[in-house]
Amino acid sequence: MATAKVLLLESERTSAPSFAPALEKRGYAVTVEHDAQTALKKASALEPDVVVLDAASLKTSGARICRRLRASMNGAPILLIADKKNLPDPNCGASVTLVTPFTPRKLLNRVSRLLPADDGASLQVGPIKLNLAQKRIICGNREERVTPKQARLLEMFLRAPGQLLTRKAIIKHVWDTDYTGDTRTLDVHMSWLRSVIEPNPRKPRYLKTLRGQGYRLDLPG
């Protein structure tokens, strides 16, 4: 893939270590912002492949910023860096949360998993892992090969955890149509995904139905 674009929002205090050098050394095109409002505007214009939100350095949980970033972008994953003393709501919209302290290598590994697929690349949120190239889901002791549309459906949830996805938006994204007169195909796909990732598909723990609205991927805190 082309050089990945990373938007990094972190404190400008010299006492707070910057992750920019490690990201740049890995070869990413890194844009650094120190102000949340500026970062929100930049996210819309830059269309980054991944956002790294260092909430720990900003002395905040990052939940509010994360939700605003999620609303301003078209599905780009968000890696949230949090302090264990100020943890965010698990449904704030972050794709992955890293709690300090951790090594730069761990950050780089998590960023690489969130990027669009090269051969063998994977996307993982919580216990759910999707190999984007091989169209394979791994969750707990289960591993299943899936169809392209099933993989696209799960990818949509993994890139927007904690966010309501309407039936209309899902059908538009996965099936590339605005017609929502018959949603049985979506229902079948959701049932199949639950059979793979849910401990008890009849009582979904992860893929929740919001009656009359759509679906949401919830992960345990």
Give the residue extent of every domain in the chain.
Answer: 5-114, 122-217
pLDDT in tens, 17-62: 899 999 999 999 999 999 989 998 888 888 888 999 999 999 999 9
CATH 3.40.50.2300 given to domain 5-114: yes
User: Do 5-114 and 122-217 come out as alike in CATH topology?
Assistant: no
The average pLDDT across 192-206 equals 91
Query: What are the CA-CA distances from residue 73 to residues 11, 21, 44, 110 (Å)?
Result: 22, 25, 6, 20
Range of lowest pLDDT (69-73, 103-107, 124-128, 214-218):
69-73
CATH number of 122-217: 1.10.10.10
The average pLDDT across 101-114 equals 88
pTM of the predicted structure, to 2 decimals: 0.56
Does the structure show a pLDDT above 60 at 120? no
